[in-house]
Amino acid sequence: MMKTHLDGRWCSNAGSGLRPALFLWLVIAVAIFLSRPGLAAPHQHGESRIAMAVDGQVLTLELTAPGEDVLGFEHAPKSAAQKNRYRETMILLQSASDMFELDEKAACSPVRTRVLEEIASIDHDHGEFHIRYEYQCQKPDLLQRMKVLTFDRFSGMQRVKVIFLRPNGPLQRVLDRDNTIADFR
C-alpha cells in the first residue's frame, strides 16, 4: 500500500525522479490547458481537470480540483469539523487507487503521489488542489481506458476534463457523473 504524507514531499521512494524532458512538456501543456481568459477566478466550480502523459513506462497524471468541489470550502480549514474533513480529504486525494482505475492491460502500479498545491497553502479565495500521481506501467501502450472514481468520492464534482498528452497528439475527454470512463481508443 502506498504511503502518504501531507507535507508535499514525494511519497515512497520507488522509481526514479520525473524526467526533466517530460516534466517540462507536462508543465507547458498543463499551463496551456489550464489557462483561460479572464483570470478573475482560477477555476470554475464543478469542473476539475486531469492532464496525463506517458514517458517510457512512467505514467504521470495531474489532477486539479476546486476546493469547493472536494471539500465544500476553499480556504484554510478553521473549525474542528473543517479540519477533520480537510485531513480526510488530503488522505483520500493522495490515494491513487481511490481516485483512478486504470486499464488492467496496461499493468500500472502507483509509485508515488505529490501534493503540488492545496488550499491550506493559499491565502486567497478559490483555493484548489493540485495533485500529481506517478505510476509505473508494464504495458503503457495498452492504456486505453481510465475510470475516474472521484465522482464517487466527492459529491461536488460535476465534470472532469481529461487531456491525455500522447506523442501522436493530445486526446481530450469530458467526463461527468453519468459518464466516468475516459476511452482513449
Closest approach of Zn ion to the CB of residue 125, in Å: 7
Question: Can you tell me which residue has the cell 488492467?
Answer: 104
DSSP three-state, residue 82: helix
CB nearer Zn ion, residue 16 or residue 35 = 35
Give the separation between CA 83 and CA 172, rounded to whole angstroms.
35
Closest approach of Zn ion to the CB of residue 112, in Å: 28
CB nearer Zn ion, residue 62 or residue 74 = 74
CB nearer Zn ion, residue 66 or residue 110 = 66
Q: What does the chain come to in residues?
A: 185
Cell of 92: 483520500
CB nearer Zn ion, residue 52 or residue 70 = 70
DSSP string, 32-77: HHH--S-TTSSS-TTEEEEEEEEETTEEEEEEEEEHHHHTS--S--
Closest approach of Zn ion to the CB of residue 82, in Å: 16
CB nearer Zn ion, residue 89 or residue 136 = 89
Binding site for Zn ion (CB under 5 A): 66, 74, 126
Give the separation between CA 158 and CA 35, rounded to whole angstroms.
20
Question: Which residue lies nearest Zn ion, judged by its C-beta?
Answer: 126
Q: What are the residues whose beta carbons fall under 8 Å from the beta carbon of 118, sequence distance 6 or more?
A: 8, 90, 127, 129, 130
Closest approach of Zn ion to the CB of residue 108, in Å: 31
Closest approach of Zn ion to the CB of residue 39, in Å: 12
